[in-house]
Amino acid sequence: MAFWITILLSAAIIAIVSLGLFLQIRSGQLNVGMAVFFGIGGYATSVLCLRFGWHPAVAIPASVVVGIVLGGLFSAITLNLHHWFFAVSTLTLSVAAVTGIGKIDFIGGALGLVGVPIVTAAWPIVLSLALAIAAAVWVDRSWLGLLVRATGDDQVLAQVFGVHVKRLRVAVFALGCGLAALAGALHAHRFGVFQPNDLGFHNSLLFFVVVIVGGKTHVAGPLLGTVFLFVLPELIHITAETELIVFGGLMVLVAVAFPAGLAGAIQGLLGRTGRLRRGLVS
């Protein structure tokens, strides 16, 4: 039982990051370095607790603020980069972060920070996931969501209709990074350690694939993707060596068979079933 509680709480942490990435992709920002901002949250709360004696209840919210500020700053700097050029910049940031952080002794160097105060209670993670879902649903379904989708679909057309594209992109990217930082902080306090590896591209790839496989056009997508790619592998015992192969294969399969991801496929199936029932009744 304890094993599955750990798995489900880890899945909840991944879902929080993926919801943030979902919002960024929704606004047309292809972030393939999300693990960097996950790492910012983890390192921020670890440093505040270990080096300055802060309580986790204060350090975790502070790490979210750090993630939002640095995410907004990065987005503001890269505003003129579009699509694949922006994606390459986030990938470059990911590689540079892993290399650079491992050389800073103040934050543990290559070994990372050990002895982070452990929070054993599950409710902070569950509450954080609920807040992340609420934020994603609000952004996606409110008037703001219309602007976000318009920006993601066609920035030029959105500007023509009066959308302040640059300001919106920075705000959405910062919010997504804040969620990633929150997840990183929760991860650090769940396991009591945070290392440069946690910022690695393998984690960024995991978050990205979760959103793409789950569905990048529906809030339920990141949640479905997390279950499909993180919980199910534990049930069928996929090894770490084959994980990347499985992720890559699923990306190709979804791109070909389900362009809208699992959420889109389920939504389409429910729509066809509803039409069929109405047809039979009439």
pLDDT in tens, 209-239: 899 889 888 899 999 999 888 877 776 666 6
Model confidence at 247: pLDDT above 80:
no
User: Which of residues 102 and 168 earns the better pLDDT score?
Assistant: 168
Question: How far is the CA of 12 from the CAs of 167, 178, 235, in angstroms?
Answer: 30, 16, 17
Q: CATH for 2-281, among 3.30.70, 1.10.3470, 1.10.1740, 3.40.640? A: 1.10.3470
pLDDT band at 164 (very low <50, low <70, confident <90, very high): confident
Tell me, what's the pLDDT at 276?
Answer: 63
- Residue 80 pLDDT: 83
131 or 160, which is more confident: 131
Tell me which residue of 103, 34, 17 sits closest to 74, measured CA to CA.
34
Average pLDDT, the chain: 88
Q: Over the stretch 194-209, which tens digit does the pLDDT of each residue have?
A: 999 999 888 998 899 8
> 89, 29 in Cβ contact below 8 A?
no
87-144: pLDDT as tens digits: 999 999 988 898 898 888 899 888 899 999 999 999 999 999 999 999 999 988 888 8
Tell me how far apart the alpha carbons of residues 212 and 230 are, in angstroms, rounded to a whole number: 14
Q: Enumerate the domain spans of the chain.
A: 2-281
Tokens of 30: 């292809």
Shortest CA distance to 218 belongs to which of 149, 130, 128, 125? 149
